[in-house]
Structure 1
């Protein structure tokens, strides 16, 4: 660690957090100790925090005061995460309907946040200082697993209007001090990509952070231009906010010459899990309880696939209790080789809308369609939109060799999976635009989820 990185990590960043009213440094240090606890000790710690959290919520949050009463739940009698099953799920529609009653009566200084609304329905909610402190601490801990720290040179490839709208002079000065630089992921034209590659080479960052689709897109562009990115001394590429596909990981690791560290979470649910150097996605169990549920809402054991439901224990100001994320995943009950006692998410399979439904009712992951297009060399980029059980549109950025034979290969391949009667409309376009958030989604189903 350089002298400057040590200065930022140990003094400047903690000072900034303290001025914001955040207790981030203390929490990170506590988490760096608790990550090595046994699984049993973490479960006991989690149960104690859950009791305290539910008691606080019952006293100050009108919505949950009524929910607890209806369920006959007494917070002081809660013994562990299993007691959460007595409570109903929290959904986006419930948050929209009860936003005011979900705010704690004694909450002060809440910040208004929203999700990107890739489904067309942005979610507005509120976050207090306690949650911000815990979320930043969890991310900071995971960053340090990879031998990098706040203060090392970083480039962030992002597209959220929240971050991009905050680039005023104070923010720019602060980012320069922290040695972090934001590259907007909204536009991926040839000229923009040339600029991104040139900036990465000039900056020589220790780490990249951003969407896997955008970072792999930049990497492939550099390869096409014959520009190396594996000689810059990059130590790690952190990716989050989208499903990480195997070909994206391979592309990023090969072209940047460093490992990829996956992260899973969101603005609403918090920083749920981070990948360690041994390969496991560790859940931030000090703050977050994860349940996997089937379509009927029944909790599933480790090894079975279902929807990820989250309870965030640092959200007393605006509680997220049994929050349905809409993501599909699998828990693991095997310990990680790294020795951390933190539980593991074995798989994160994507959003429910990343799944498609065949005309006969069979549910399958969008990868089953992606594979058809990924093997066609004449395609630069694509996006699959399942409009209905009988119509799927395929937007294609055609390369020089793309032909009607390729279009027919797409139609045949997708009909083989979705059904021979399904109309597959192949639509060549000049450019596949990202979502408003800057993310690229390869499959969108308006039928699944």
Structure 2
């Protein structure tokens, strides 16, 4: 039997953390019942399903491998006629991680994503520049934007039909007001704008915010993007398996949507599980019926705190470290991407450094930065000294010509995208038969 949900919690429905816990406790028995509908959890419950917080906390964690081992239908808890969409995560290395959602599940997904302090409204034109395909990210932003009445431009970022030159044209000509992409995408747009003779902070007057997620965003990188475009950069955190899990408040902190999910922190070194501290994020969505996940370990490295925030949301704060928390050894020291990126984007803006790469070798860190010739010597010297001061490792910083790491033709080119066909003229290239290019 389906439990009818008449209303999901909204920001402002609870006054403090105690009231937040009461909201979780009220919703938990329902999702535990839902979970019993899947073969995986029915077997795990062994005829004795929990119905309280105490029983829930005795359950073992659900792993990504559990999802893969139970592909395709072992995690599904509703009949196929109730499933609205099916998705798979992008990071499975050839091993499918399935996700099912009902129409009702999508109401929760869209509401969580739409919790932006820079609001989404019917007057907005929203460019979605993340994958559609099997991942949830593009569909999620589109559903949220349409639920608020906004005009959606489905830009995708895995399609040859949407090169950077076309992204730039759409941003400019359609008066796009909001965008959704990885943070690094916005740097590529800025470079494409400059290549086209446009100024990111002046020639896109309708743009009012950049929504970003999916790749590391250091404080210095965020500041550089904000400076380039002259609008707020609003961060989002989530996954295909769960949808949006956290959003940024007006004070720049990421808050976990703990009215819609229960969050725990797992220490893989000790096996301890608590509600805060450093470790791996464990998630139990409370409004997910098609494929309930109980104590699902996302394996993302995080730091969770319940310290009050000036925004007044009464929600835990999360610092997502993810893969950026891990580093490579150089001369006996650990170098992390997050800190290295902070140093790169800590260079003065007038040095015009947007793109970089680094290789951690056993005895030396090799860094390349794209930088114009007139700024090359000071930029390289400054970054060299900053890396030595931060990590204490031997480092070689080399400035390369702009266009070396991100070729200009990538920013300005237009792809010849054709439909498949079988009949060609005598002077045409029939190697393109049947294939999309």
Q: Give TM-score scaled by structure 1 length.
A: 0.70
Q: Which residue of 1 aligns with 2:154?
A: 182
Aligned mate of 2:184, from 188, 213, 216:
213
Aligned mate of 1:368, from 314, 336, 339:
339
1:327 matched to 2:304: no
Deviation of the 1:356 alpha carbon = 0.7
1:167-206 equivalences under 5 Å are 178-186=150-158, 192-206=163-177
In structure 2, do the counterparts of structure 1 residues 278 and 380 end up closer, same or farther at CA, with 3 Å as the change threshold?
closer
Q: Deviations over 1:29-66 (max 9, x none)?
A: x43365444321221121121122113322x1221123
Counting matched residue pairs gives: 386
Distance 1:408 1:255 in 2: 23
Q: Deviations over 1:107-148 (max 9, x none)?
A: 53433211112x6345331312132221112122x13x3243
Q: Which residue of 2 aligns with 1:241?
A: 214
Q: Which residue of 1 aligns with 2:81?
A: 108
Distance 1:63 1:39 in 2: 32
1:55 matched to 2:36: no
In structure 2, do the counterparts of structure 1 residues 272 and 33 end up closer, same or farther at CA, with 3 Å as the change threshold?
closer
Aligned mate of 1:123, from 77, 93, 96:
96
Distance 2:77 2:157 in 1: 36
Distance 1:251 1:406 in 2: 16
In structure 2, do the counterparts of structure 1 residues 361 and 89 end up closer, same or farther at CA, with 3 Å as the change threshold?
farther
Matched residue SS, 1:120: coil
Q: Which residue of 2 aligns with 1:316?
A: 289
Distance 1:146 1:353 in 2: 27
Aligned mate of 2:110, from 136, 146, 163:
136
In structure 2, do the counterparts of structure 1 residues 244 and 317 end up closer, same or farther at CA, with 3 Å as the change threshold?
same
1:15-414 equivalences under 5 Å are 27=7, 30-32=8-10, 35-58=13-36, 60-69=37-46, 74-76=49-51, 78-79=52-53, 83-99=55-71, 100-104=73-77, 106=79, 108-110=81-83, 111-117=85-91, 120-121=93-94, 123-129=96-102, 130-140=104-114, 142-143=115-116, 145-150=117-122, 152-162=124-134, 178-186=150-158, 192-222=163-193, 225-230=197-202, 232-296=205-269, 297-300=271-274, 302=276, 304-341=277-314, 343-349=315-321, 351-352=322-323, 355-358=326-329, 365-371=336-342, 373-374=344-345, 375=347, 381-384=355-358, 400=373
CA RMSD, aligned part only? Answer: 4.3
Matched residue SS, 2:90: coil
Answer whether contact 2:60 2:295 (CA < 8 A) is retained. yes
Answer whether contact 2:121 2:150 (CA < 8 A) is retained. no
In structure 2, do the counterparts of structure 1 residues 90 and 393 end up closer, same or farther at CA, with 3 Å as the change threshold?
farther
Distance 2:57 2:368 in 1: 42
Distance 2:317 2:192 in 1: 32
Answer whether contact 2:86 2:101 (CA < 8 A) is retained. no
Answer whether contact 2:263 2:275 (CA < 8 A) is retained. no
Q: Deviations over 1:277-326 (max 9, x none)?
A: 23332222232111122223312453x32211111122332222222223
In structure 2, do the counterparts of structure 1 residues 415 and 64 end up closer, same or farther at CA, with 3 Å as the change threshold?
farther
Answer whether contact 1:114 1:125 (CA < 8 A) is retained. yes
Distance 2:273 2:168 in 1: 46
Answer whether contact 1:293 1:299 (CA < 8 A) is retained. yes
Distance 1:427 1:256 in 2: 24
In structure 2, do the counterparts of structure 1 residues 317 and 163 end up closer, same or farther at CA, with 3 Å as the change threshold?
closer
Answer whether contact 2:31 2:292 (CA < 8 A) is retained. no
In structure 2, do the counterparts of structure 1 residues 422 and 55 end up closer, same or farther at CA, with 3 Å as the change threshold?
farther
In structure 2, do the counterparts of structure 1 residues 115 and 426 end up closer, same or farther at CA, with 3 Å as the change threshold?
farther
Matched residue SS, 1:137: helix
Answer whether contact 1:264 1:271 (CA < 8 A) is retained. yes
In structure 2, do the counterparts of structure 1 residues 186 and 248 end up closer, same or farther at CA, with 3 Å as the change threshold?
farther
